[in-house]
Amino acid sequence: MKEAKKLNITKSLELFEQAKKLVPGGVLGARKPSDFIEGEYPIYLEYGKGCRLTDVDGNEYIDFLCGYGPIILGYREEEVDEAVAKQIRDKGFCFTLTQRYQNELAKKLSQIVPCSEMSIFLKTGSDATTASIRIARAYTNRIKVMRCGYHGWHDWCVEMKGGIPAKFYEDVYEFRYNNLDQLEDLMKQHGDQTAAIIMTPFGHPLHQKMDVPKPGFLEGVRALATKYGAILVFDEIRTGFRLRLGGAQQLYGVTPDLSVLGKGMANGYAISVVTGKAEVMMAAAQKLFISSTFFPNSDGFIAALKTIEILERDNVLAKIWERGEGFLKKIQSIIDKYPVGAEISGVAPMFFITFKKDKGETHRARRDEFYTQLIRRGIFFTPHHHSYICYRHTDQDLDITANAIDESMAYLNEKYKVSF
Ligand SMILES: Cc1ncc(COP(=O)(O)O)c(C=O)c1O
């Protein structure tokens, strides 16, 4: 199998050189070139439609990052964009007071998300996870927090601790997904001072294989939270409106006290929510201040209402699962053909291809080569983050992608002789 031709990303690289003088590091956070493969992936995109993206050099990709999660339908989904444009044109979206759509969206959530009785709307996932912790602390009058997963960039939970006084995170303890014993030990030590257990109900640790809950794991966490009087928060920023309309809590049948959702809810428009039991949520009205200039803007509400309407009307998630399951089976059969140590983890709507460690420790090289071959073939997965399937990925798009995966693995198989 021939090596695929390197992409021309000249304009991306030029823009990045300019950006380095204007923006610290050129590009922030997860979009920085070192989070992909430097010199191979584009850095700037020009436009997108459906499941496809075009970069500033004119290269087109079938994209599986979906804007890092919010794109559940597709890029430039006309019905959603038109509903927002109409709102902006005919009524306006940024006002002195709140518009009525918050009531409509809160009502809708209470019908579809199992834990939802009352809701607070914010803009980002980090807003929402931080608000959920503040609510839990106010409600319980306790301080400690047990956490599992990525919950955003705020002081109490971000992985890189630069610029943060230790006292802002020293009452926060991490536990590993699917490790109930570890959480049980932590709760034995700190349970009576623990305000919240916050976790992603589905395991998607940074840069690592994805993990479905072991039988009894989520139920066990629920029982521990109840036993010690801590608030259980499911961080469904990625899984909400994706694994099921009501999130992973609906799929796995375990109901938290609070939940945070965002990303997929509005197909790319900025809105997030903390939603949950009324008794706990009421702490937000009585004991604390959660407010921002932009929280009530109605563009996000309109986009969320329209996105949810489409998800329900067109049975979108069932279709994503069906297509995705077929696709994952195909990838597994490709992986079985080539002994290059590739593994696929996750579930149909969100999955990840990773590489097993071998005796010669070539796993990073194999990973980077695989993803290089894929991006050169116009398939936008990344080595450090799992992929998503959205509604606008057609069977044909998935076939093209499976073919590119097959070619890339075949190339890898010729290049590396791996022993485990
Ligand atoms: C599970 C989870 N929680 C919280 C966040 C933070 O969301 P945001 O980046 O919108 O602040 C993310 C973002 O990727 C996430 O995946």
What's the pLDDT tens digit per position in 275-284?
Answer: 999 999 999 8
CB of 246 within 6 A of ligand 1: the answer is no
Residue 418: pLDDT band (50, 70, 90) is confident
CA distances from 378 to 41, 53, 330 (A): 10, 10, 19
pLDDT of residue 417: 85
- Span 45-73, average pLDDT: 98
Alpha-carbon distance of 329 to 336, in angstroms, equals 11
Q: For ligand 1, is residue 149 a contact (CB within 6 Å)?
A: yes
- Considering the entire predicted model, what is its pTM? 0.97
Query: What mean pLDDT is reported for the chain?
Result: 97
CATH 3.40.640.10 fits 78-313, yes or no: yes
Residue 200 Cβ inside 6 Å of ligand 1? The answer reads: yes
Tokens representing 49?
A: 């439609």
Q: Ligand 1 test: best mutation among 151, 261, 350, most atoms within 8 Å of CB?
A: 151
Ligand 1 neighbourhood includes 150 CB (under 6 angstroms): yes
Does ligand 1 lie within 6 Å of residue 63's CB atom?
Answer: no
Q: What is the share, in percent, of the chain residues with pLDDT greater than 90?
A: 95
Q: What percent of the chain has pLDDT over 70?
A: 100
Whole-angstrom Cα distance, residue 15 to residue 20?
9
Q: What is the pLDDT of residue 108?
A: 98
Distances 29 to 90, 136, 143, 413 between C-alpha atoms, Å = 36, 28, 29, 33
pLDDT one-digit tens code per residue, 21-32: 999 999 998 999
Q: Which two tokens stand for residue 13?
A: 């690289």
pLDDT above 90 (res 2): no
Architecture, CATH, for domain 10-75+316-415:
Alpha-Beta Complex (3.90)
* CB of 263 shorter than 6 A to ligand 1: no
The C-alpha angle with vertex 246 and arms to 327 and 194, in degrees rounded to 5, equals: 115
User: Given a cut of 90, is residue 207 above it in pLDDT?
Assistant: no
CA of 328 to the centre of ligand 1 (A): 25
Whether 76 shows a pLDDT value over 90: the answer reads yes
Instruction: Give me the phi and psi of 350, to 5 degrees please.
Output: -150, 125
Residue 125 in contact with ligand 1 by CB distance below 6 A: yes
How far is 206 from 375, CA to CA, in rounded Å? 21
Q: Where are the domains of the chain?
A: 10-75+316-415, 78-313
pLDDT score for 190: 98
Q: How many angstroms does the Cα of residue 69 sit away from the middle of ligand 1? A: 9
C-alpha to C-alpha distance for 174 and 190, rounded to whole angstroms: 12
